[in-house]
Amino acid sequence: MYTIKELQKIISEEIDIEIKRLNGLEPKNLYEPIAYTLAMGGKRLRPVMVLLAYNLFSDKVEKAIHAAIAIEVFHNFTLLHDDIMDEADVRRNSPTVHKKYNKNIAILSGDAMSIMAYNYLQNSESKNLPNMVQLFSQTALEVCEGQQFDMDFETKMNVSIHQYLNMIRLKTAVLLACSLKIGALAANAPETTADLLYVFGLDLGIAFQLQDDLLDVYADQNIFGKKTGGDILSNKKTFLLLKALELSNQQTKIELLDWIDRKDFDPDEKIAAVKQIYNKLNIKDITINSIEDFYQSAISIWNEIDLPIETKAELLQLAQMIMERDR
Amino acid sequence: MYTIKELQKIISEEIDIEIKRLNGLEPKNLYEPIAYTLAMGGKRLRPVMVLLAYNLFSDKVEKAIHAAIAIEVFHNFTLLHDDIMDEADVRRNSPTVHKKYNKNIAILSGDAMSIMAYNYLQNSESKNLPNMVQLFSQTALEVCEGQQFDMDFETKMNVSIHQYLNMIRLKTAVLLACSLKIGALAANAPETTADLLYVFGLDLGIAFQLQDDLLDVYADQNIFGKKTGGDILSNKKTFLLLKALELSNQQTKIELLDWIDRKDFDPDEKIAAVKQIYNKLNIKDITINSIEDFYQSAISIWNEIDLPIETKAELLQLAQMIMERDR
């Protein structure tokens, strides 16, 4: 078995080779932005999940590299196009593609990345390839659905917690779930185990996103790296805001909606005021409890996975790594 | 054997069923624009080519429907994203998606269409599916390359005819070629025949695009339907312009470049002046000759295709239909 660190090293080296190859292709304005996007880095969480799941059943993780790259390229494609849609200028301290190049180049190189993801996947050697492609396609479409729901929520006031959880399931969790299952499928794992890994990834993905919502408000700024309160300033319909709207009495609700409607405000004052409402409603603990519920659900699934404890230990490590990030 | 008209009817009915299904899906803002795009219509040329090629080897064309829809959905995805990039407000007399909805919805529903194209293809029942997906992926990436070259050419003055032909091969011709070959592959046609169909489609596709360039300047406006000279006004690097730049002497070249550089001009005057230069350089005949060369090359390939004349007659009909359009 490989450790997560070892798998991160393996996939990073493979992606670096791809980046070099892409930088040599024509037209430069199509392939350079793709290489640039992939070179932005990150923890390579999803491709590591592919390799880790594969590694539960086989040591020849090099056979899952193509599938792992496919998932990472697809994920980076969604970030690239999301950045255009969100008009985000910076990602991981670098200018986004539509800022560094232009919007048209960003649209088109994203399109090419989504096609390349299929190309990489198609190059996997596995008897299970049709099932892998099927799962990937379904997941990719769900990610688009999640992104559209997220955009719809921006202008919709009465979003329920149920609708919100469904949105983050689609936008974030299914790709983590797919990463694990596709690795298992590549290794010809038993179907029931592959399905358990999927649900494990799904629960973990939802916990991961809820934690993201929580950290935006309650993170230790020194550890978090970026300023907290961004979601509050942009009126993002996070779990915290929706829960607060759900639990607040008439007066508090009016106060909260007033902060959301205000065009002129002092940013720090708005963050402090909304945070005070959250504190009054105990939103921090409620969110932590909900994260814990999804995390514990993932652990129950982990217990059900029919593999020796020492084999599946690394999977638990991954779950802990995801949940302990930046805290 | 089915006639082209019959195949058009078959595919149109199937696409109409898909449009109804898509209009029932959530989120509405993702799937309605896709249905809207598909409902804009057109001649369904590419899916007809898939069915026609399949029909050369088998009568059960219903088995190629999924592949045909895949190609049409992919083609419409490229139109949708191209319209964003070109800031085109109208297509086929209807507002484009980014005008009717908004730019973000247009980007995302395009992304979903490209994924859906793979989904449809994946649902084809054919032993040859891996080869079909492989060809489709390669073609899809080439179409992106062609679009990027086309955008690069906008700001590049010294584009050679060779570079231009390569661009239209990628942007336009490979998808027509792929349509025929994928239909043949779906029917388990011999590889050599499938390859001949590909090259036939490639030549035809280049002739088709050159004809498009020609018609923009020299079409009978009453038959053409839209005003001629659009490419001249937008300084589009068409075959005609590049050929004119190649063949003109110093003085004519300066005159042509002056028209390209001018910011203030009377549109009709510019069209007339550039057209006069084209006339002087005999560009119309040169373009017609070039179209004829590619068309004749397609016919030679058609002759090589090892099928009874009466079987492959419909293919020739298709070629004639493509080349006689709007003239």
Please write the tens of the pLDDT for every residue from A23-66.
999 999 999 999 999 999 889 999 999 999 999 999 999 999 99
CATH topology of domain A1-140: Farnesyl Diphosphate Synthase (1.10.600)
Confidence of residue B41 (pLDDT cuts 50, 70, 90): confident
How far is residue A257 from each of residues A160, A245, A254, A283, measured CA to CA in Å?
16, 9, 5, 16
Kindly report the nearest CA distance between residue A108 and chain B, in angstroms.
7
Report yes or no: A66 and A126 within 8 Å, Cβ to Cβ: no
Confidence of residue B226 (pLDDT cuts 50, 70, 90): confident
CB contact under 8 A, A152 and B116: no
Q: Quote the crossing angle between the two packed helices B267-280 and B239-247, to the nearest 10°.
A: 60
Question: Does A22 reach chain B within 8 Å, measured CB to CB?
Answer: no
Q: Which of A116, A130, A144 sits opposite B108 (nearest CB)?
A: A144
Cβ-based burial of B305 (10 A; exposed 0-12, middle 13-18, buried ≥19): middle
- When comparing pLDDT for B112 and A226, which is higher? B112
- DSSP lists the bridge partners of residue B90 as B95
Cβ neighbours of A107 in B, within 8 Å: 81, 84-85, 107
Centre a 10 Å sphere on the Cβ of residue A154 and count the other Cβ atoms it contains: 12
- DSSP lists the bridge partners of residue A218 as none
Question: Does B268 reach chain A within 8 Å, measured CB to CB?
Answer: no
**Whole-angstrom Cα distance, residue B45 to residue B172?**
12
| Phi-psi category of residue A264: left, alpha or beta, with phi > 0 → left and psi -120 to 50 → alpha | beta
Domain parsing of chain A, residue ranges: 1-140, 190-327
Three-class DSSP labels, chain B: CCCHHHHHHHHHHHHHHHHHHHHCCCCHHHHHHHHHHHHCCCCCHHHHHHHHHHHCCCCCHHHHHHHHHHHHHHHHHHHHHHHHHCCCCEECCEECHHHHCCHHHHHHHHHHHHHHHHHHHHCCCCCCHHHHHHHHHHHHHHHHHHHHHHHHHHCCCCCCHHHHHHHHHHHHHHHHHHHHHHHHHHCCCCHHHHHHHHHHHHHHHHHHHHHHHHHHHHCCHHHHCCCCCHHHHCCCCCHHHHHHHHHCCHHHHHHHHHHHHCCCCCHHHHHHHHHHHHHHCCHHHHHHHHHHHHHHHHHHHHHHCCCCHHHHHHHHHHHHHHHHCCC
Centre a 10 Å sphere on the Cβ of residue A20 and count the other Cβ atoms it contains: 11
Cβ neighbours of B122 in A, within 8 Å: 130, 133-134, 137
| Rg, C-alpha atoms of chain B | 20
CB contact under 8 A, A148 and B116: no
- DSSP lists the bridge partners of residue A64 as none
Residue of B nearest to A108 (CA): B144
Kindly report the nearest CA distance between residue A137 and chain B, in angstroms.
6
Kindly report the nearest CA distance between residue B165 and chain A, in angstroms.
15
pTM higher than the cut 0.90: yes
Cβ neighbours of B134 in A, within 8 Å: 122
Question: Does A125 reach chain B within 8 Å, measured CB to CB?
Answer: no
In this predicted structure, what is the pLDDT of residue B225?
A: 67
**Whole-angstrom Cα distance, residue B2 to residue A317?**
60
| The two structure tokens encoding residue B272 | 């007339």
Report yes or no: B110 and B81 within 8 Å, Cβ to Cβ: yes
Residues of chain A with confidence (pLDDT) below 70: 223-225, 325-327
**Whole-angstrom Cα distance, residue B70 to residue A116?**
17
Q: Which of B26, B85, B114 sits opposite A115 (nearest CB)?
A: B114
Residue of A nearest to B167 (CA): A27
pLDDT at B326 over 80: no
Cβ neighbours of B149 in A, within 8 Å: 27
Kindly report the nearest CA distance between residue B255 and chain A, in angstroms.
31
Give the H/E segment covering residue A95.
strand A94-95
Kindly report the nearest CA distance between residue A283 and chain B, in angstroms.
29
CB contact under 8 A, A145 and B116: no
pLDDT at B111 over 70: yes
Cβ neighbours of A144 in B, within 8 Å: 30, 108, 111-112, 115
Kindly report the nearest CA distance between residue B140 and chain A, in angstroms.
7
Query: Which residue from B57, B318, B53 is spatially nearest to B198, judged by alpha carbons?
Result: B53
**Whole-angstrom Cα distance, residue B290 to residue B279?**
16
Q: Which of residues 297-326 of A touch B (CB under 8 A)?
A: none
In this predicted structure, what is the pLDDT of residue A325?
A: 54
User: Is the omega angle on the peptide bond into residue A95 within 30 degrees of 0, that is, cis?
Assistant: no
Kindly report the nearest CA distance between residue B141 and chain A, in angstroms.
6
**Whole-angstrom Cα distance, residue B210 to residue B295?**
11
In this predicted structure, what is the pLDDT of residue A326?
A: 40
SS3 A266: coil
Q: Which of B107, B116, B152 sits opposite A85 (nearest CB)?
A: B107
Q: Do domains A1-140 and A190-327 have the same CATH topology?
A: yes
Q: Which of A27, A29, A122 sits opposite B133 (nearest CB)?
A: A122
C-alpha torsion angle, residues A271, A273, A277, A282 (rounded to 10):
50
Mean pLDDT of B110-132: 96
Q: Tell me the per-residue pLDDT of A79-129, one tens digit each, with 9 for 90 and over.
A: 999 999 999 999 999 999 999 999 999 999 999 999 999 999 999 999 999
Question: Does B282 reach chain A within 8 Å, measured CB to CB?
Answer: no
Cβ neighbours of B30 in A, within 8 Å: 144-145, 148
pLDDT at B222 over 80: no
Kindly report the nearest CA distance between residue B23 and chain A, in angstroms.
14
Query: Which residue from A215, A133, A148, A177 is spatially nearest to A45, judged by alpha carbons?
Result: A177
Exposure string over B65-76, b if 16+ CB within 10 A, otherwise e: bbbbbbbbbbbb
Q: Quote the crossing angle between the two packed helices B239-247 and B250-261, to the nearest 10°.
A: 140
**Whole-angstrom Cα distance, residue A121 to residue A114?**
11
Q: Quote the crossing angle between the two packed helices B239-247 and B283-304, to the nearest 10°.
A: 120
CB contact under 8 A, B26 and A145: yes
Question: Does A66 reach chain B within 8 Å, measured CB to CB?
Answer: no
Centre a 10 Å sphere on the Cβ of residue A94 and count the other Cβ atoms it contains: 14
CATH topology of domain A190-327: Farnesyl Diphosphate Synthase (1.10.600)
Q: Which of A119, A129, A148 sits opposite B137 (nearest CB)?
A: A119
Question: Does A252 reach chain B within 8 Å, measured CB to CB?
Answer: no
Instruction: Read off the DSSP letter of residue A90.
Output: E
- DSSP lists the bridge partners of residue A90 as A95
Q: Which of residues 148-207 of A touch B (CB under 8 A)?
A: 148-149, 151-152
Q: Quote the crossing angle between the two packed helices B191-218 and B283-304, to the nearest 10°.
A: 160
CB contact under 8 A, B115 and A26: no
**Whole-angstrom Cα distance, residue A90 to residue A67?**
28
Mean pLDDT of B184-203: 98
CB contact under 8 A, A108 and B85: yes
Kindly report the nearest CA distance between residue A107 and chain B, in angstroms.
8
Report yes or no: A278 and A284 within 8 Å, Cβ to Cβ: yes
**Whole-angstrom Cα distance, residue A104 to residue B151?**
9
Give the H/E segment covering residue A136.
helix A129-154
In this predicted structure, what is the pLDDT of residue B327?
A: 37
In this predicted structure, what is the pLDDT of residue A222?
A: 72
Which residues are CB-contacts of A256 (< 8 A; sequence separation ≥ 6)? Answer: A241, A244, A245, A248, A274, A277
CB contact under 8 A, A151 and B115: no
Give the H/E segment covering residue A64.
none
In this predicted structure, what is the pLDDT of residue B325?
A: 54
Q: Tell me the per-residue pLDDT of B265-297, one tens digit each, with 9 for 90 and over.
A: 999 999 999 999 999 999 999 999 999 999 999
